A and B are shown apart, each in its own frame.
Chain A
Amino acid sequence: MGNGIKFSEILVTGDPLILASQIAILLTSIAIVAGLTYFNKWSWLWREWLTTVDHKKIGIMYIIAGVVMFFRGGMDGLMMRAQTSQPGLEILSSQHYNEVFTAHGVIMILFMAMPLLIGLMNVIIPLQIGARDVAFPQLNALSFWLFFSGAMLFNIAFVIGGAPDAGWTSYFPLAGKEFTPNVGNNYYAISLQIAGIGTLMSGINFIVTILKMRTKGMTLMRMPMFTWTSFIASIIIVAAFPIFTVALGYMALDRIFGTHIFTISGGGEPMHWANLFWLWGHPEVYIVALPAFGIFSEIIATHSRKNLYGYSSMVISIVGIAILSMLVWVHHFYTMGSGPVVNSVFSITTMLIAVPTGMKIFNWLFTMRKGRIQMTNAMLWSLAFIPTFTIGGVTGVMLAMAAADYQYHNTMFLVAHFHYVLIPGVVFAVFAALYYWWPKMFGFTLNEKIGRWHFWLFNIGFNMTFMPMFFLGLKGMSRRMFTYQEGLGWEPLLLVSFAGSLILAAGFAAFCYNIYWSFRYASRDVSNDPWDGRTLEWATASPVQHYNFAKLPEVTGIDAYWKMKKEGTTGLIKEEIEPVHMPSNSGIPFFMGVVFTIVGLFLVFEWLIPALIASFLIFVGLIMRSFDYDDGYYVGVDEVTKTEQSWRGDL
């Protein structure tokens, strides 16, 4: 059993880059605390945000966290590109490089893509199905705080104790105690566990919300496509995350308690980690990709002023993708000796996924056909997605051929492939969604002109960064190499890639500037429906009042709001307004987040007795929740009427 880490080993010392980050973190924390105190904002922060159970605010907190994590993960990406921009550089040591690519991978997938999409799901799903909240508002807040707790734990690793360094896949035996004895990979096991529990509960919450809280007339086959894709993604979450929970639990047991699930010395099986990891890891890719597909469906339909082409085939294809996603995991380790029969089977299932995905691409194209297309930034991102994602898909089919994969396996070709899938398939979608739904969240649109800068810089930079990697991979450069010798013919390509990543970063900076600019200067005079939308979220005010709908809308067909507008039934009758029931705020989820962070930290450092003592606080939280009979409150008719009058004009 581990006897814990001593106090003197806690702070990471000796690296100037890390020292600079430590100082920066310290100064930022002081600045935040001082600012909140100076402007007297503590109670506002507590009341409006930390204890909130409003799905829209929770969604916005997820999105803020996701954008910040994108910055962190992007910096890691830049550091890697800078390090390999020329042969023989020593900007990062090999150990530091290992830590950076590990952090980059984990953060991008779990702390950037996931929260951004779950954040959007939170904001939009209840609105699209005409509901007042999610099924379990307090659980929703708890999900957020657990995600946040996991993210914070993971992020402080590089200054306190030492960062994980075995890659985002953390294969055994490398990730075991024998080869990485420091606490870094404990952080991996514990922080992902905590965040994962939060994600699982989000999945359950969305499933019940969508099944049970749809407004009158909103049958399943009338749901907007974003809701559909999020629904299926939630089902995948419930099916896949428990596998990861168990795998991470084993990892923690092996590392902290000396068991032998994955460690060879006691008869354990390292390949079992690879199987469990990818049984979760591959579906995970679709958990983030499917809602992104939903976003494109919404935006393309709205901006073409047509309904989505082949709605039911879209639904069938996402269900197909969801099922297939669980059946392909071995394609991540064809070279690890599964044998030709197994490899062939998984080769075929993998290629099959291209069928429903291709179907979707054609549906989007047909939706645009003969449409009156409106070129906003949201639409531009959706358009750019199609060709870039297709490159990712085609190279994916190349990788799916088991025999050929012996050539590309773990080369930069693979790195190029998955960035060509994930960046258009997730990041472009998130950008598109933010431009599209920003007015719904904040009551103003982002600046379209700055948005163009963002778009072009990001797209040019993206292709310049990742296109060379295909060729580098074919020239034999393996992934995760921290440096290389001169004369391999890689230098020009790597230099282009580095330059590209700088342009990419400039694109991201333009996006941040756009947010800043729009907050300060953008007109607050946008209607509730700036894009002439088709779905119910546009039927209510922008930004949305906390009770969402004064009277729950009634749906008579697909594209409900579009139909209402055509039939002239968007109005509200004053006499029909009733008191609205709302859930009360609660401090318990935040408290639980804090407790989980503390327990997590003790476990990371293998201080088992303190961890045990602190974990009793988890039960305190659970008991507090169980004995809490707060039934929420009602928003009175007068208040609803007044709020509605202020944005509708007359009533």
Chain B
Amino acid sequence: MAGTVDKSLPMEYQTQQSQMNILGFWVFLGAEIVLFATLFATYFVLQDRTVGGPTAQDMFVLRDVLILTFILLTSSFTCGLAIHEMRRNNENGVLLWLAVTMVLGMAFIGMEVFEFIHYVDMGATMQTSAFLSSLYALLGTHGLHVTLGVGWMLAIILQVYRRGLTHVTTRKIFIVSLYWHFLDVVWIFIFTFVYIQGMVM
């Protein structure tokens, strides 16, 4: 089982263990979809419960949100480039694009932290209203996922640097890229249904 290698597939799919890990990660992403769906549902239930505190219109700044979105979308693109280089068996390319993705991820987190500080300064804390509790829960969970993704990417960069592109490392790169794209998709939903809807409605 551990021995069989199917050379006709891309490297990350060649061993059975790799195939299982990737499938397992897809199933995990299924669970993550349910998790975020629940967070969104809660936000929709509570979004009007501002009890006199700041509302979405008071808080959201279009320019900042666009920058955040731009950073994250670009990082998804660079992550795609890393996979492209991995398929071409170009280790340095992989390392470069993973590092760029990681930096963009850190920029995203940094900006989000500043955004939160700004909100808190204007009196919009988690404890202010149900609307804000659900907002911070949703954004915070996403932000925490991105933070974890950055740390994870760092671990993988180190492993690729030490071991090169093997069955194991390519599988890990592929899985972290799935994770990263997933977080991007979640962000699109946040962008549309939290920010845009909040500013327009």
Contact = CB atoms under 8 A, between A and B. Distances in A.
Interface of A: 132, 135-136, 200, 204-205, 207-208, 211-213, 238-243, 245-247, 249-250, 253-254, 257-261, 266-269, 272, 276, 581, 619, 623, 626-627, 629, 631-632
Interface in B143-197: 151-152, 155-156, 159, 163, 168, 172
Nearest to A261: B133
Contacts of B42: 246, 250, 261, 272, 276
Among A208, A581, A627, residue most surrounded by chain B Cβ atoms (within 10 Å): A208
Given A239-B34, A242-B38, A581-B2, 18 more contacts: A132-B1, A205-B24, A208-B23, A212-B16, A239-B31, A241-B31, A242-B34, A243-B35, A246-B38, A247-B38, A253-B126, A260-B130, A266-B51, A267-B51, A623-B155, A626-B152, A629-B163, A632-B2
Given A204-B31, A207-B27, A267-B130, A261 B151 contact: no
Contacts of B128: 266
Contacts of B131: 267
A256 to B, nearest CB: 11
B50 interface: yes
B137 interface: yes
Interface string B70-101: 00000000000000000000000000000000
A253 B133 contact: yes
Nearest to B32: A242
Contacts of A204: 24, 27-28, 31
A261 B38 contact: no
A266 B127 contact: yes
Contacts of A207: 24, 27
B174 to A, nearest CB: 15
A81 B15 CA distance: 57
B38 A259 contact: no
Nearest to B163: A629
Interface in B22-51: 23-24, 27-28, 30-32, 34-35, 38-39, 42, 45-46, 49-51
A245 B3 contact: no
Contacts of B137: 249-250, 253, 259, 261
Contacts of B3: 581
Among A247, A260, A632, residue most surrounded by chain B Cβ atoms (within 10 Å): A260
A240 B128 CA distance: 30
A322 to B, nearest CB: 14
The SS class assigned to the A binding surface is helix
A528 B138 CA distance: 53
B57 interface: no
Nearest first, the 4 closest Cβ-Cβ pairs linking A and B are A267-B49, A267-B130, A259-B133, A242-B35
A269 B130 contact: yes
B137 to A, nearest CB: 7
B130 A261 contact: yes
A511 to B, nearest CB: 36
Among A240, A626, A632, residue most surrounded by chain B Cβ atoms (within 10 Å): A626
Nearest to A262: B130
Among A212, A242, A243, A267, residue most surrounded by chain B Cβ atoms (within 10 Å): A267
Interface residues of B, number: 42
A495 to B, nearest CB: 45
A236 to B, nearest CB: 11
A238 B31 contact: yes
B23 A211 contact: yes
A132 B128 CA distance: 54
Given A242-B31, A246-B35, A276-B38, A268 B130 contact: yes
A212 B133 contact: no
25 contacts: A135-B20, A207-B24, A207-B27, A208-B24, A208-B27, A212-B23, A213-B20, A239-B30, A240-B34, A242-B31, A242-B35, A243-B38, A245-B35, A253-B133, A257-B127, A258-B126, A259-B133, A261-B137, A266-B49, A267-B51, A268-B130, A272-B45, A619-B151, A626-B172, A627-B155
Contacts of A238: 27, 30-31, 34
Contacts of A267: 46, 49-51, 129-131
A247 B31 CA distance: 14
Contacts of B32: 242
A128 B172 CA distance: 30
A187 B80 CA distance: 43
B86 to A, nearest CB: 18
A266 B24 contact: no
Contacts of A253: 126, 133, 137
A186 to B, nearest CB: 17
Nearest to A136: B24
Nearest to A259: B133
B157 to A, nearest CB: 12
Nearest to B152: A626
A249 B128 CA distance: 18
B127 A259 contact: yes
Contacts of B130: 260-261, 266-269
A248 to B, nearest CB: 11
Contacts of B168: 629
A269 B43 CA distance: 11
A358 to B, nearest CB: 30
A54 B46 CA distance: 46
A627 to B, nearest CB: 7
B160 to A, nearest CB: 12
A212 B19 contact: yes
A260 B163 CA distance: 48
A281 to B, nearest CB: 14
A250 B155 CA distance: 30
Interface in B94-143: 126-131, 133-134, 136-137
B165 to A, nearest CB: 14
Among A258, A268, A276, residue most surrounded by chain B Cβ atoms (within 10 Å): A268
A241 B155 CA distance: 28
